[in-house]
């Protein structure tokens, strides 16, 4: 049996970051190739937007119903089981002969791709309290890298190969990393806990209502990730209509979020040393300014580029700050707290995707920006009424 690490080595942190990015990428392959799927299956833009939405909605319910298992079972084994199920879902998406089967497959891809949200609280659990924000920032930079590169990977390959091949290649990559995880990820010192599934699930609403900081993070994550998906779910349509550009350009624009990746460890340090209230405020400023730019000068490619950089920075400020808050609350309930937060996070993403594609069909780009404004207003209201802790707790309460 592999000897358990008592502290997180740099190699382990890097492995967690990479694996988190590789798996979360599964959720975003569909966004740059929506036009290709619509053409292949003869679907309307609204219907293919709904397919992208059910991927995220499936992920949200996977977070709600599967991630709490991390507080019951050995996370070393649970992560590998979920990776194996995710590979099977990707292969089903590759094989899907019609839109109905693909809808089932992409929903299962969402439900089974929850291993990153088992890895994140595991990293928070293993990290020293005073370095938790920094460690989570590094792991979350892997998450954002996976999101960004998945769009580029999908968009570019979609212009060269049949779009179905994207899911086959992803399954092979995930299988390679499953083998690496088996041999390199630390074993969970806790082992299996003496807890039962349904009583644990029933604690989720109580955790939400009893922890003010968790409520604030859940609402902020809902709004800020919703704003991010408002853009990414309609960008391929906008590029085709405004610039007559294809999926490859939508994928390349995803690389602009590298600024958020590079900033993630710095954001984590800022959360540790300053205040999550400050960084949450900055997340709303960056995201709000981004959509002002999209609305005002999005018809020019330079405006679109600047807005994307700012939006990804805002999303990353929100994600790192909220994860640091959530993982500082209670070590014994870390997976459940993360489940509540990330359920709200991806529920916001699915609502953003569905509402933005509807707004695009009704009012074009102005309607899309209006939907983003609604998310921002809700985030500001939550910030003013619920707020965030001025400082993180240095020791997790058990």
pLDDT in tens, 159-179: 888 999 999 999 999 999 999
**pLDDT > 50? residue 396:** no
pLDDT score for 294: 94
Mean pLDDT within 51-76 = 85
- Angle (CA) 254-81-50 rounded to 5° is 40
Q: Find the mean pLDDT for residues 202-216.
A: 91
Could you tell me if residue 231 is inside a domain? Answer: yes
Please say if the pLDDT value at position 398 is more than 90: no
Q: What letter does residue 256 receive in the DSSP assignment?
A: G
- Please tell me the predicted confidence (pLDDT) of residue 346: 81
Alpha-carbon span 372 to 288, nearest angstrom: 8
Task: Please determine, for residue 184, whether its predicted confidence score (pLDDT) is greater than 70.
Answer: yes
The predicted-structure confidence for 262-319, as pLDDT tens digits, reads as follows 776 777 777 777 778 888 999 999 999 999 999 998 888 888 899 999 998 898 889 8
What tokens appear for 191 in the block?
Answer: 């082992």
pLDDT at 193 over 80: no
Label residues 330-347 b or e (16+ Cβ within 10 Å = b): bbebbbbbbbbbbbbbbb
Q: Domain of 326: which CATH number?
A: 1.20.1250.20
State pLDDT tens for residues 363-393. Answer: 999 999 999 999 999 999 999 999 887 776 6
| 391 domain residue, yes or no | no
**pLDDT of 93 strictly over 90:** yes
Residue in 178, 225, 263 with CA at minimum distance from that of residue 346: 225
Neighbours of 296 (CB within 10 A): 12
Q: Mutual orientation of helices 258-273 and 276-297 as an angle, nearest 10°? A: 150
What CA–CA distance (Å, rounded) separates 337 from 324? 11
Give the chain's domain count.
1
Q: How far is CA 201 from CA 14, 72, 119, 339, in A?
A: 31, 11, 19, 10
Secondary structure element (H or E) that encloses residue 54, with its range: helix 45-65
Q: How does DSSP assign 348-373, residue by residue? A: HHHHHHHHHHHHHHHHHHHHHHHHHH
Res. 6: pLDDT tops 60: no
pLDDT value of residue 248: 66
pLDDT at 343 over 90: no
Q: Greater confidence, 342 or 81? A: 81
**Quick check: is 390 in a domain?**
no
User: Range with the lowest mean pLDDT among 28-42, 96-110, 212-226?
Assistant: 28-42
Give the chain's mean pLDDT: 85
Assigned domain for 291 exists: yes
Range of the domain at 308: 10-385
Q: Calculate mean pLDDT across residues 4-8.
A: 52
Q: What percent of the chain lies above the pLDDT cut of 90?
A: 38
| Amino acid 220: pLDDT | 96
What is the arithmetic mean of pLDDT over 137-142? 80
Q: Are 145 and 260 in contact (CB under 8 A)?
A: no
Average pLDDT over residues 54-69: 86
Residue 216 lies inside a defined structural domain of this protein: yes
What pLDDT, on the 0 to 100 scale, is given for residue 4?
42
What is the rounded distance in angstroms from the CA atom of residue 127 to the CA atom of residue 144?
20
Does residue 161 sit within a domain? yes
- 167 is written with which tokens? 């899911």
In a domain, 3, yes or no: no
């Amino acid at each position: 049996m592999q000897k358990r690490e008592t502290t997180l080595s740099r190699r382990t942190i890097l492995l967690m970051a990479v694996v988190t990015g590789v798996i979360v990428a599964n959720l975003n392959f569909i966004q740059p190739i929506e036009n290709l799927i619509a053409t292949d299956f003869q679907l309307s833009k609204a219907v293919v937007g709904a397919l992208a939405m059910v991927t995220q909605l499936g992920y949200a319910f996977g977070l709600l119903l599967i991630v709490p298992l991390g507080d019951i079972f050995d996370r070393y084994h649970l992560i590998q089981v979920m990776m194996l199920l995710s590979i099977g879902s990707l292969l089903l998406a590759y094989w899907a002969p019609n839109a109905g089967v693909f809808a089932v497959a992409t929903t299962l891809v969402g439900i089974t791709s929850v291993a990153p949200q088992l890895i994140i609280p595991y990293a928070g659990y293993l990290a020293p309290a005073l370095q938790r924000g920094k460690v989570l920032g590094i792991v979350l930079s892997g998450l954002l890298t996976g999101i960004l590169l998945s769009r580029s990977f999908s968009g570019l390959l979609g212009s060269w190969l049949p779009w179905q091949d994207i899911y086959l290649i992803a399954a092979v990559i995930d299988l390679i990393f499953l083998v690496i995880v088996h041999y390199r990820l630390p074993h969970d010192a806790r082992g299996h806990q003496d807890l039962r599934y349904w009583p644990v699930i029933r604690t989720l609403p109580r955790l939400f209502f009893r922890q003010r900081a968790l409520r604030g993070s859940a609402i902020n994550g809902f709004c800020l990730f919703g704003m991010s998906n408002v853009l990414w779910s309609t960008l391929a349509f906008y590029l085709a209509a405004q610039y007559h550009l294809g999926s490859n350009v939508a994928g390349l624009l995803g690389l602009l979020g590298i600024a958020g990746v590079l900033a993630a460890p710095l954001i984590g340090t800022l959360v540790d040393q300053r205040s999550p209230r400050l960084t949450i405020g900055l997340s709303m400023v960056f995201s709000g300014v981004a959509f002002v730019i999209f609305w005002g000068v999005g018809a020019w490619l330079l405006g679109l580029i600047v807005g994307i950089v700012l939006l990804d920075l805002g999303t990353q400020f929100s994600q790192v700050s909220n994860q640091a808050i959530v993982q500082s609350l209670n070590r014994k309930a870390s997976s459940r707290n993360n489940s509540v937060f990330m359920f709200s996070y991806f529920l916001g993403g699915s609502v953003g995707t569905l509402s933005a594609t509807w707004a695009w069909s009704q009012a074009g780009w102005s309607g899309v920006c209006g939907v983003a404004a609604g998310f921002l207003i809700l985030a500001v209201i939550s910030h003013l009424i619920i707020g965030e802790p001025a400082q993180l707790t240095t020791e997790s309460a058990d």
